Amino acid sequence: MNKANYSQSVCNRFWNKVKIPKDIVNDCWEWTGYKKPTGVGEIKINGKNVSATTFSYEYYNGKLLKSVKFYRTCKNMACVNPNHLMLKSDSRYMEYAIWDNIIVPEDYINDCWEWTGTKKSGYAYYNEVRLSTFIYELYYKEKISEGIVVRHTCDNRGCVSPNHFLLGTPQDNVDDREKRNRGAKGQNHGMAILNDELIHESLNKVLNGSLKSINQIADYCDISRSIIEKILNQKHWKHIKLSYTDDEWNQILSIRRVMHKRK
C-alpha cells in the first residue's frame, strides 16, 4: 500500500507499534507507542513529530497537502484505523460530528433532542449551518425548496429532533407564534430565549465589574447585541429597570460606550 512513499524502515517502526485486531474494518487499531496528553499517538520521523493518525491516513490514501483535522467515528483518540478516520473536509464529516453535541433522550420519538453546541437566537448551528435544515434534509432525504423553512412543533428552538420538524413558509412560522403565544410578553413569550433571572444576573455582573461591555453581556447570555441594546434602551423588557436604582441603571448604561470584540 504505502501511498505516501514512507521508507520501509519507518513503516516497520510504525506498524510494530500498532495492535491490529481480527476485524480490521470495524474494530480499532490501537496505537501502543508514545501518546500526547490528548491520547493521540505520535511518532518521530526524520527528527519531526508526526501524528500516528496522519501517518496511517497517508499510508493508505497518499500525502496530505497541509495539516488537517480528523474526526474519529470510533471516538478512540488512540485509534489509527483508516476506516475510522474522516477528514473535516469530507462531505460526510458533519453527519458524524454533530452527534457529539446532541442529547438524544430515551423517548427519542416524542421528546426533544437538545443541541448543546453553538446557538444563534436559540437555534442550533454548526459551522454557520442551521441544523434544523441540515438534519431535516439528511433524515428525510429531501431537499428543502427555496422559500420554505423548518418549523418546530415542540416550540423549542434548540431541538434538532427530525420528529419535531414540519415544513412551512415564513408566514406559517409567524402564525405558529401568534397562535401559541398571543399577547405574551417578556419571559412568558414562547419564543423568548431569555428570562428575568438571566438578565438580572448579567446586569449585576456589570455592576460588580465582571462584564464590561454590551458584547460581553451578549456572549454571556448567548444572544445578539441588538437584543441587549433594546433592553437597555427600554424598548423591550421594560420592567427590568424597576429592580435598580437610578444610579445603578446609569452605571449599567455607561457600558454602551465600551466596545469589545465578541468571542
Give the span between the Cα atoms of 54 and 67, in whole angstroms. 9
Q: Could you give the angle at which helices 214-221 and 196-207 cross, rounded to 10 degrees? A: 140
**CA atoms of 129 and 114, how far apart (whole Å):** 16
Q: Give residue-wise pLDDT tens across range 96-126.
A: 888 888 999 888 888 899 999 998 888 899 8
Render pLDDT for 202-238 as a digit per residue (tens, 0 to 9): 899 899 988 888 888 888 877 777 778 888 888 777 7
Residue 54 to residue 152: CA distance in whole angstroms = 41
Q: Which of 213, 224, 217, 183 is nearest to 198 (CA)?
A: 217
d(C-alpha 173, C-alpha 165), whole Å: 12
- Please report the pLDDT score of residue 180 as a whole number: 61
Those residues with Cβ within 8 angstroms of residue 7's Cβ, 6 or more apart along the chain or in another chain: none
The percentage of the chain sitting over the pLDDT mark of 70, rounded to a whole number, equals: 89
Q: Mean pLDDT over residues 12-29, rounded?
A: 96
Predicted structure pTM score: 0.49
Using alpha carbons only, what angle is made at residue 17 by residues 12 and 21, rounded to the nearest 5 degrees?
Answer: 105
Kindly tell me if the per-residue pLDDT of 143 is higher than 80: yes
CA dihedral 52, 55, 59, 63 (to 10 degrees): 160
Grid cell at residue 179: 397562535
Which residues face 19 on adjacent strands? 30
* pLDDT, position 178: 67
The residue among 66, 85, 67 whose CA lies nearest residue 76 is 85
pLDDT in tens, 247-261: 899 999 988 766 544
Measured over the CA atoms of residue 106, residue 131, residue 86 and residue 141, the dihedral's sign is positive
pLDDT in tens, 43-86: 999 999 999 999 999 999 998 877 777 888 898 999 999 999 98
Mean pLDDT of 21-38: 95
User: Long-range contacts for 259-262 (Cβ within 8 Å, ≥24 apart)?
Assistant: 259/213, 259/215, 260/212, 260/213, 260/215, 260/216, 261/215, 262/215, 262/218, 262/219, 262/225
State residue 186's pLDDT score: 47
pLDDT confidence tier of residue 7, bands split at 50, 70 and 90: very high
pLDDT-above-90 percentage for the chain: 37
